[in-house]
Amino acid sequence: MTALKMLQSHLVRVKLQAAEREAELIDRQKALEQECARLRAEYDIAKDELKLCWAYVAQLKLENSQKWRIEERNDWKALVASIQDDRRRLRAENGRLRRRCEEIKEEDDDAHHEEENPPPPPLPPLSPKTSPSQPEQQQRFLWRRLKARGPMDKQQRQRRSPAKSPVLILV
């Protein structure tokens, strides 16, 4: 019987070990199932976020293509406006330079003409001795002084502005 008792005690020990191992595996299975449930929840959340991200990507593609077109169009408009402003500025500057060139040519022509025909000497100032006292005498005196300067040619008359030309004042 001793062999039977030994067999029995061995059997009890193996059953006990198997029960402990089974309890350990059941606990581990429950822990793994909980972790699996947690991971599935995280997966579902991540999957929803991924769908949302792809929707955002699609929307951004549409918006960016439209935005890009609008920005590109605005850039071209700004470039055209800048070129037109430059063109206007250059035309105005060109016109100003052409006018200045014409003025310089006229001044040069006038200078050459004056060298050929010098202007008449200026009138001497009126002194109280030579100045007539009566208006008619004053008018005759001024006419004589103007004639003494000599005739003006066409260019001299054009250059003389109304403010510079002598004026006869009838009193």
Distance CA 126, CA 131 (A): 6
Residues 11-61: tens digit of each pLDDT: 999 999 999 999 999 999 999 999 999 999 999 999 999 999 999 999 888
pLDDT surpassing 60 at residue 155: no
Give how many domains the chain has, as a whole number.
1
CA triplet 139, 141, 145: central angle to 5 degrees? 115
Which pLDDT does position 99 carry in this prediction? 93
In a domain, 72, yes or no: yes
In a domain, 65, yes or no: yes
In a domain, 3, yes or no: no
Residue 15: phi and psi, rounded to 5, are -65, -45
Distance CA 142, CA 147 (A): 9
In a domain, 54, yes or no: yes
- The encoded tokens of residue 138 equal 């004053």
pLDDT surpassing 50 at residue 165: no
In a domain, 99, yes or no: no
In a domain, 147, yes or no: no
Q: Scanning the structure block, which residue is given the tokens 């006038």?
A: 110
What is the pTM assigned to this prediction? 0.33
In a domain, 164, yes or no: no
**How much of the chain exceeds pLDDT 90, in percent?**
45
In a domain, 145, yes or no: no
Range of the domain at 36: 9-80
- The encoded tokens of residue 71 equal 């920005």
